[in-house]
């Protein structure tokens, strides 16, 4: 046992109103936590009736409307922080990971990402000129605050003039990133490597449906268990070495190119954890959460 407990510890899995009973995947972790004496239950993050101070910890899991309500989620995080409720991942890390500018931060620390042009809200730019200046025949346009490929599209240099108005509309509402399209996604697929408590757990390969580039299941993508090559695992571990800890969970998404693994996303806010792709993964997650809670108890006693 990681914790010596006189009573069952209560943990909230924070979710959103459209998944009040949690995702099918997240529910797989509940029995594993119960085996370690932790009673985990769903709690809708914006439900005013939830008494957050009654929990021993809150784990952000499926708050999948955050990108439409960024300011509100930030206030909720601050509220739990003020209450002194342990939050996983930690508040500062959640706020940092909410905006894809974190990729730019990691790049300055030597983490290879896809070539990207960053644009701030209200900035003026011509999409066709951006692609031409960078020598890109194809690119992906996305908001810097987004999830599940929301308002994300693939563009060719030839079609860019026809998408200029859509591009300007996106820029009028927030920050935008334009990335070189990774053709490897269509062939080799995209890696997702899962880490719990700083340790590698398992991995999957995600592939889009024919004719698409989005690997999310809601867009027809598929995922299958896979063992990452040592070079891919090493690069993912290097990515996480650049992140301040402690943290509970992380998903490193990226693709292999001719010059090695490139980071596409570092999901530390509300990622799908692919528990259903490795029967031992829920147990590893539960052990990591138990360890983090024990460390928090020791810190509070000092």
Residue 289: how many CA atoms within 13 Å on its side-chain side? 33
Residue 286 domain flag: yes
Q: Which of 37-46, 146-155, 292-301 has the lowest mean pLDDT?
A: 292-301
pLDDT > 70? residue 94: yes
Among 157, 180, 203, residue at a domain's last position: 180
Residue 4 domain flag: no
Residues of the domain holding 152 = 116-180
Structure pTM?
A: 0.91
CATH code for position 46? 3.40.50.20
pLDDT above 90 covers what percent of the chain? Answer: 79
Give residue 214's pLDDT band: very low, low, confident or very high (50, 70, 90): low
Segment 68-92, tens digit of pLDDT? 899 999 999 999 999 999 999 999 9
pLDDT above 70 covers what percent of the chain? Answer: 92
The average pLDDT across 114-134 equals 95
The average pLDDT across 221-245 equals 93
Peptide bond into 89 cis (omega under 30): yes
Residue 298: how many CA atoms within 13 Å on its side-chain side? 9
Q: From CA 64, how far away is CA 44, in angstroms rounded?
A: 11
CATH code for position 129? 3.30.1490
Residues present in the chain in total: 302
Q: Which of 92-106, 141-155, 182-196, 282-296 has the lowest mean pLDDT?
A: 141-155
Mean pLDDT for the chain overall: 91
263 and 282 fall within a common domain = no
The average pLDDT across 155-162 equals 94
The average pLDDT across 156-169 equals 94
**22 contacts 49 by C-beta, under 8 angstroms:** no
Strand partners, 225: 204
Give residue 1's pLDDT band: very low, low, confident or very high (50, 70, 90): very low
CATH code for position 203? 3.30.470.20
Cα 41–chain centre separation: 21
Domain count, the chain: 3
163 and 50 fall within a common domain = no
């Amino acid at each position: 046992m990681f914790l010596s407990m006189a009573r069952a510890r209560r943990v909230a899995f924070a979710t959103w109103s459209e998944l009040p009973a949690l995702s099918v995947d997240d529910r797989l972790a509940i029995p594993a936590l119960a085996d370690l004496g932790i009673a985990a239950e769903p709690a809708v993050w914006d439900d005013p009736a939830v008494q957050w101070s009654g929990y021993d910890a809150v784990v952000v899991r499926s708050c999948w409307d955050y990108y439409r309500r960024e300011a509100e989620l930030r206030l909720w995080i601050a509220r739990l922080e003020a209450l002194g409720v342990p939050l996983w991942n930690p508040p500062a890390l959640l706020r940092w990971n909410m905006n894809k500018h974190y990729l730019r931060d990691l790049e300055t620390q030597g983490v290879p990402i896809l070539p990207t042009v960053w644009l701030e809200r209200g900035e003026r730019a011509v999409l066709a000129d951006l692609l031409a200046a960078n020598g890109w025949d194809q690119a992906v346009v996305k908001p810097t605050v987004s999830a599940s490929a929301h308002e994300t599209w693939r563009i060719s240099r030839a079609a860019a003039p026809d998408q200029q108005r859509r591009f300007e509309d996106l820029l009028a509402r927030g920050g935008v990133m334009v990335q070189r399209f990774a053709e490897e996604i269509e062939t080799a697929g995209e890696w997702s490597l899962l880490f719990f408590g700083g340790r590698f757990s398992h991995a999957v390969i995600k592939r889009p449906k024919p004719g698409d580039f989005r690997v999310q299941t809601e867009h027809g993508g598929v995922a299958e268990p896979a063992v990452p090559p040592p070079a891919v695992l090493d690069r993912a571990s290097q990515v996480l070495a650049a992140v301040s800890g402690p943290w509970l969970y992380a998903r490193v998404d990226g693709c292999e190119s001719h010059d090695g693994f490139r980071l596409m996303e570092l999901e530390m806010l509300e990622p799908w954890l692919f528990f259903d792709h490795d029967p031992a993964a829920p147990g590893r997650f539960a052990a990591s959460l138990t360890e983090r809670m024990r460390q928090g108890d020791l810190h509070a006693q000092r």
